[in-house]
Amino acid sequence: MQTQTHLESQTVINKKKKLKKNGWNLRNTWQLHAMLLPAVIIVFIFQYIPLFGLVMAFQDYEPWLGFLHSPWVGLDHFKTMFEYEDARQVIWNTLIISSLKIVFNIVVPLAFALLLNEVYIMKFKRTVQTIVYLPHFLSWVILGGILIDMLSPEGGIVNRVLVSLFNIKPIFFLGDNDWFRTVVVITDVWKECGFNTIVFLAAITSINPTLYEAAIVDGANRWQQTVYVTLPSMLPIIIVVGTLSLGNILNAGFDQILNLYNPLVYKTGDIIDTYVYRVGLLNGDFSYGTAVGLFKSIISFILVVAGYRLAYKYANYKVF
């Protein structure tokens, strides 16, 4: 009994010491907290206050009636979402495009990082890395305009090359359902390859050099060193990148699709975000658009949590 009382009193003392320490730290770092205050206010205004608008997903919202007087319909919009053929097709398109992006945005940068790591001329290596990294900083508004001109069936440079070298008829890449997904995935990989390459190159540089020395002593060539030393050592970061990408499985790239697609490719190119934009804002069906967006957000949140749990379990990745 005395031991239990002693432990309880010690716990209370420790809590008081911790609170006192935190208070002392706050008094000495209040300037830093004050610097964060404007950012916190902006996030609260533009990220948290709009969450109250989610009530529209459960109403037959009319702007002139407002949130308080619009009729309540419960889960009707969510039921409608799964009844519409267009909505099911949009979800399927999103899963296909985002899955392909996740896979190729790991495989291509990983292969490129391994190849770039074998270059010993530093000036050439840095030049290539900078050129590949540059598209990451360009918006899809700019790249969309460039790609529309390049892939145009009438005078686009890609079709000119196909016609002159391979005698192939011009292809309407951005207006053909058979080609649109391929173009979306390839252009996204081209844009983001440089950023992901840097992540993998950083992982390569952190590998213990003695592992390579031991492999050389055992008679391993460069390919064998890559297979048995480099790739196993990079496996944790590959798992982290892959599992954390699960949270983006329903984010197939709104800005990219919006700048590239058109009504001809809605069947294979329309994704959840563009569908919400078109139905909710352009057509004025605010409640249904909000319901679709809320469904996507809930699934994405679950996948983000699952991704972090998998990254922690298999790669010991921690946020804090």
**Residue 7 sits in the same domain as residue 131:** no
pLDDT over 90 (residue 239): no
**Distance, CA of 159 to CA of 241 (rounded, Å):** 35
Cut 0.85: pTM above it: no
Q: Evaluate whether residue 78 is within a structural domain.
A: no
Per residue in 19-40, pLDDT tens? 555 555 667 777 887 888 899 9
In this structure, the answer to whether residues 299 and 185 fall within a common structural domain is yes
Angle in degrees, 0-180, between the axes of helices 85-117 and 231-244, rounded to the nearest 10: 160
Asked if the model's pLDDT at residue 84 lies above 90, the reply is no
Whether 97 has a pLDDT exceeding 70, the answer reads yes
75: in domain: no
Q: Are residues 42 and 157 in the same domain?
A: no
In a domain, 73, yes or no: no
Q: How many CB atoms lie within 10 A of CB 77?
A: 23
What CATH number should be reported for the domain holding residue 202?
1.10.3720.10
Rounded CA gap, 220 and 216, in Å? 5
Residue 203 lies in a domain: yes
Residues 23 and 111 in one domain: no
Q: Are residues 128 and 14 in the same domain?
A: no
Q: Is 292 a residue whose pLDDT tops 90? A: no
Residue 41 has pLDDT above 90, yes or no: yes
pLDDT at 71 over 90: no
Instruction: Give the chain's end-to-end CA distance (angstroms, integer).
Output: 38
Q: What is the DSSP string of 79-101?
A: HHHHH-HHHHHHHHHHHHHHHHH
Q: Tell me what the mean pLDDT of segment 147-169 comes to.
A: 86
Bridge partners (DSSP) listed for residue 72:
59
Average pLDDT over residues 272-301: 84
**In angstroms, how far is CA 176 from the centroid of its own chain?**
26
Residue 14 has pLDDT above 80, yes or no: no
Residue 15 shares a structural domain with residue 160: no
| Selected residue with higher pLDDT from 100 and 244 | 100
- Give me the number of domains the chain comprises: 2
What average pLDDT does the segment 279-292 reach? 84
Please indicate, yes or no, if residue 205 is contained in any of the structural domains: yes
Residue 126 inside a domain? The answer is: yes
Is there a single domain that holds both residue 23 and residue 166?
no
Are 171 and 291 found together in one domain?
yes
Please write down the long-range contacts of 200-203, taking CB distance under 8 Å and 24 or more positions apart: 200/109, 200/110, 200/113, 200/114, 200/234, 200/237, 200/238, 201/113, 201/116, 201/117, 201/129, 203/233, 203/234, 203/237
What pLDDT is recorded for position 2? 47
Say if residue 107's pLDDT is above 80. Answer: yes
**Do residues 11 and 132 both lie within one domain?**
no
Looking at the predicted structure, is the pLDDT value of residue 15 above 80? no
| Beta carbons within 10 angstroms of residue 158's beta carbon | 17
318 touches 312 (CB < 8 A)? yes
Question: Does pLDDT of 3 surpass 60?
Answer: no
Same-domain pairing of 17 and 133: no
Q: Can you tell me the mean pLDDT for 57-71? A: 83
In degrees and rounded to multiples of 5, residue 169 shows phi and psi of: -65, 145
59 - beta bridge partners?
A: 72
What lies within 8 Å, CB to CB, of 60 at 6+ separation is 70, 71, 72, 73, 287
Residue 305: band (very low, low, confident or very high) from pLDDT cuts 50, 70, 90: confident
Answer yes or no: is pLDDT of 12 > 70.
no
Give residue 198's domain range. 84-315
Residue 236 lies inside a defined structural domain of this protein:
yes
pLDDT (mean) for 111-140: 87
Residue 208 maps to a domain? yes
Burial of 114 (0-12, 13-18, 19+ CB in 10 A): middle
Q: Are residues 199 and 290 in the same domain?
A: yes
Give residue-wise pLDDT tens across range 266-285: 888 888 888 888 888 888 88
* pLDDT per residue as tens digits for the range 166-225: 888 888 888 888 889 999 999 999 998 888 888 888 888 888 888 888 888 888 888 888
Instruction: Let me know whether 89 and 24 are in one domain.
Output: no
The average confidence (pLDDT) of the chain is: 82
> Is it the case that residue 100 has pLDDT exceeding 70?
yes
Q: Is the pLDDT of residue 229 over 90?
A: no
Q: Does 16 score more than 80 pLDDT?
A: no
